[in-house]
Copies of this chain bind each other. A is one copy, B any other.
Amino acid sequence: RVDAYPTRHADRETITDRADPVLWTAWSEDAPLAREQAEHYEQKGYLVLRDLFTPDEVRGLMDVSRRLRTTDPAERPADFVSEPASDEVRTIFRLDEHSETFARLAADARLARVAEFLLGDRVYLHQSRLNYKPGFKGKEFYWHSDFETWHAEDGVPRMRAVSASILLTDNTSVNGPLMLVPGSHRRFIGCRGATPEDNHKTSLKAQVVGVPQPETIAKLVKEHGLDTATGPAGTVVFFECNTLHGSNGNITPFPRSNAFFVYNALTNRPSAPFAAKTPRPEWLANRDTITPLEARRGAITGEGAA
């Protein structure tokens, strides 16, 4: 089996060029993005879109998100991950199974059609989650490429996936917004350090394996700069699976919450992990149940709404 992106080396870090296209469809008039938008995504590895959803739709999504994260700690399933030092919900995986509204959102044409265009294929959800960073004590997410983990631990073969982050609170410069290294998606950092067993049990709280060395991050930032994705609730950030990103902690009173959908190309389904003994559980990475999305049009209504 070809491994285009070797990683989790025992003794060294490797930096190689990306072996896949970024934009898997040539732009044309009927693309769901403007030409400049497609070019921005190709060059920077991400794209911020505002006003995709109506204020009513955004309010509905925020209501559902609020209900989900206030689930009683005793009744939380395994895919509810809490903050390292408290009971507060940090991430809810399988978001599309916990909420019809969010399942509908994931399939919404305003997102799914863009994903299909970027990836040049039909798409399905590799992962879906709700990130919730509380105010006052929200911890940082250290720099990482999502693809590195999905390749090493889930067996996703190629860079043919894209994440959509839908902001459910205002994200400003002070409450730990997503930071991205533009252009970093064109290099693959094969990380130092073997994958421990059941790595996901700790890596979701604080990632230690599969992160680039500080000097490498510094070098990439020096070359490419560092961008911040801020915007009001409802803003959508598409970012390429290999774009290096992270976020600072948050002592402000303003929580930060985002829904994440990872769209993977149907032809890019996971095989065996490339650098781990066993694959991560299904709630982290769909493997057995793969359902291509049927893009849906029309307004998204909240649960319990008319």
Contact = CB atoms under 8 A, between A and B. Distances in A.
Contacts of A68: none
B246 A248 contact: no
A214 to B, nearest CB: 5
Interface string A258-295: 00000000000000000000000000000000000000
A174 B174 contact: no
Q: How many copies does the complex hold?
A: 2
A174 B179 CA distance: 8
A221 B252 contact: yes
A156 to B, nearest CB: 25
Interface string A125-146: 0000000000110001011000
Interface string A168-201: 0000011010010000000000000000000000
A124 B247 CA distance: 40
A218 B135 CA distance: 9
Nearest to A230: B173
B218 A251 contact: no
A249 interface: yes
| Shortest beta-carbon contacts, A-B, top 8 | A173-B173, A218-B253, A249-B249, A136-B214, A221-B253, A140-B251, A248-B248, A246-B251
Interface of A: 135-136, 140, 142-143, 173-174, 176, 179, 214, 217-218, 221-222, 226, 228, 246-253
